[in-house]
Amino acid sequence: MRIVIIEDEPLTAKDLAACILAAEPAAEIVASLASVAGARAYFDRHAPPDLIFSDIQLGDGKSFAVFERLMQLVPVIFCTAYDAYALEAFRAAGIDYILKPFDEKTVGAAIARYKALRGTSASAGAVANTPSVAGSILVYYKEKILPVKLEAIALFYLEKELVRLMGFDGKGYIVNKSLEELEGLTGSRFYRANRQFLVNRAAIKDVSQYFGRKLLLNLSIPFGEKITVGRVKVNAFLGWLADI
- pLDDT tens for each residue of 79-125: 888 766 666 666 666 778 888 888 999 999 889 888 877 654 333 33
Kindly state whether residues 11 and 103 are assigned to the same domain.
yes
Where does a domain end: 85, 117, 149? 117
CATH number reported for the structural domain that contains residue 101 in this entry: 3.40.50.2300
Kindly state whether residues 10 and 63 are assigned to the same domain.
yes
Kindly state whether residues 167 and 211 are assigned to the same domain.
yes
Question: 117 or 197, which is more confident?
Answer: 197
Kindly state whether residues 145 and 237 are assigned to the same domain.
yes
Kindly state whether residues 87 and 157 are assigned to the same domain.
no
61 in any annotated domain: yes
**pLDDT at site 123:** 38
What domain count does the chain have?
Answer: 2
42 in any annotated domain: yes
Report CA-CA distances (Å) from 106 to 31, 65, 110, 111.
21, 25, 6, 9
- pLDDT tens for each residue of 14-62: 999 999 999 999 999 999 999 999 999 998 888 888 899 999 989 999 8
Kindly state whether residues 48 and 8 are assigned to the same domain.
yes
Kindly state whether residues 193 and 91 are assigned to the same domain.
no
154 in any annotated domain: yes
Kindly state whether residues 96 and 18 are assigned to the same domain.
yes
Q: How confident is the model at residue 215 (pLDDT cuts 50, 70, 90)?
A: very high
pTM score > 0.75 for this model? no
Kindly state whether residues 110 and 10 are assigned to the same domain.
yes
CATH number reported for the structural domain that contains residue 180 in this entry: 2.40.50.1020
Taking each helix axis from N to C end, the angle separating 10-23 and 104-117, rounded to the nearest 10 degrees, works out to 60
135 in any annotated domain: no
Report the alpha-carbon distance of residue 165 to residue 82 in Å, rounded: 31
164 in any annotated domain: yes
129 in any annotated domain: no
Residue 202 structural domain: 141-243
**pLDDT at site 87:** 62
Kindly state whether residues 213 and 162 are assigned to the same domain.
yes
Kindly state whether residues 57 and 92 are assigned to the same domain.
yes
Q: What is the percent of the chain with per-residue pLDDT over 70, rounded to a whole number?
A: 85
**pLDDT at site 238:** 87
**pLDDT at site 133:** 56
- pLDDT tens for each residue of 122-168: 333 333 333 445 688 888 777 677 889 999 999 999 998 889 999 99
